[in-house]
Chain A
């Protein structure tokens, strides 16, 4: 198996090319049929005509957010799986995304984010931090697969229920319909304002997570061995928790909770990087971005004009994978 795996530079190069191609597809595919060269001309050299507006104000922010949010989910999944040494760790399953949604919902529907724009990502970040801390407290530092997943399910359900409650209690009749957005996520008509709001927090999160590779490598030998190799476990945990919360919180605050990418992507790539967490991080980030871009293009191709939610597609692919993973994990435990 490992002999057939591509070398690391080839893998990273391939994923980069794939991401660029899907980013281009995201820019070129949409309800307004604009030709290939016309699109590029409008994007780069246009001067305020309709096609330029479509490319710069509608499709570009959507493609940027698609890649960044996918990369955030892939990277966070890889870090969480490495940190907790648990193949089932993922921002969605651990309730981080759902709690970030709750934070965002509270900021938006109380009118806080209208008064103070940064309240949106900050409130989502706070929700995400609380979720990680709650799951860690419930599952304990050495918690097994089962406790971790149960804690995640509990936190996730509670956050989802509170989100629904908040939206149902809103005096605005439309709010209750928006439960779907916060549970399944969408990039429909996201604007540059959303990029400006969320990107700094995602970049900050990436910066905190990117340096963890070596420590995660050491952690594969166990916590004691890692500590003897000079790994500061407290620092690693702190960076992982706040990095994930910052990136996933910001991503969720503008696009809702998108599941399964953080679970599936690191798994598919692990054999290709020889099981080394340090190499998995960059690969997962690139692949996560590519997967989300592909899913977002698919929503536009499969059901144009219907705002098919992203979480629907990621779950259709991700949930069967999750089942297979549980089946395999169970067999391994026997």
Chain B
């Protein structure tokens, strides 16, 4: 009897997640952006692991919350041993790992990175649906829409020209979330003027010729030296004053906290406009 009961129990425990449409109970996230969406949306105890990146202060907004959840390093073996009933990965998560988990019979859902405010809404709602937390997701979307409306209301009037200039001379052009953030904050994106598509290199010459009012960079990920930030030291940049170094964690992932990136830009813009009036 005991053996039969055990067999039934095993059958139930294996079959249940696949059969039932009930919300998953053991969710593992393997990507910094899905980590943070899941941390915001999941119910108590539903999320059993997030990626180790979610604890990095410089890249994760929710590092504190992530500290209370066990971490994974995106390896198939460790994720499998956590016996999740849902694995959430980014479309850029190692292909080999995702394929391996699928072969092992895991349910893996992939999220594409958000390239627009619309993508953010879509991703929040999809995460809500996957976790059975639709109400929470709707709530977040409504707050996000309100916050965005506030940003856009505050961003009226003059729109100074801003150059996004990251480490290794990269910039964000048309079709990127960063471009939408810049535009929503009442700034013009220089890369848009050059019709640059996606995240590409912005040649220093073009930046200088564009004569932007503001050069917006990213803070350093590490104090250890590397050539990656040498572009910030170039003498040709001195004419544009100090580079405004934004906190990367608000820019990496599209999420409700993306509004913080826009709010920071708004403050930068205010300062610039105030200085300009002062100068005149």
Contact = CB atoms under 8 A, between A and B. Distances in A.
Interface of A: 30-32, 34, 48, 50-51, 53-54, 57-59, 108-111, 113-114, 170-175, 177-178, 181, 189, 191-193, 304-307
Given A192-B235, A305-B200, A178 B226 contact: yes
Nearest to A173: B221
Interface stretch (B26-34, B155-163, B206-214, B251-259): B206-214
B228 A191 contact: no
B225 A32 contact: no
A173 B211 CA distance: 31
Given A32-B205, A171-B222, 12 more contacts: A30-B203, A32-B203, A50-B208, A50-B210, A57-B208, A58-B236, A172-B221, A172-B226, A174-B168, A178-B227, A307-B169, A307-B201
A50 B200 CA distance: 22
Contact of A32 (B208, B221, B227, B230): B208
B108 to A, nearest CB: 26
B226 A305 contact: no
A108 B227 contact: yes
B91 to A, nearest CB: 21
Given A172-B222, A175-B224, A193 B235 contact: yes
B224 A32 contact: no
Nearest to A256: B227
Nearest to A107: B225
Nearest to B236: A57
B247 interface: no
A173 B236 CA distance: 26
A109 B225 CA distance: 5
Contact of B208 (A58, A111, A178, A193): A58
A15 B211 CA distance: 39
Contacts, number: 94
A26 B162 CA distance: 29
Contacts of A191: 233-236
A33 B227 CA distance: 27
Contacts of B226: 109, 170, 172, 174-175, 178
Contacts of B221: 172-174
A48 B229 CA distance: 24
B205 A58 contact: yes
B65 to A, nearest CB: 23
Nearest to A182: B227
A181 B228 CA distance: 11
Given A57-B236, A58-B236, A305 B203 contact: yes
A53 B239 contact: yes
A191 B208 CA distance: 14
B228 A51 contact: no
B167 interface: yes
Nearest to B202: A305
B205 A30 contact: yes
Nearest to B210: A50
B225 A111 contact: yes
A113 B227 CA distance: 12
Given A305-B201, A307-B201, A189 B228 contact: no
A174 B205 contact: no
B204 interface: yes
> Which of A32, A48, A51, A177: most chain B CB closer than 10 A?
A32
A304 B203 contact: yes
Nearest to A171: B224
Nearest to B222: A172
Contacts of B206: 31-32
B167 A174 contact: yes
Closest 5 CB pairs of A and B: A174-B228, A57-B236, A172-B224, A32-B205, A31-B203
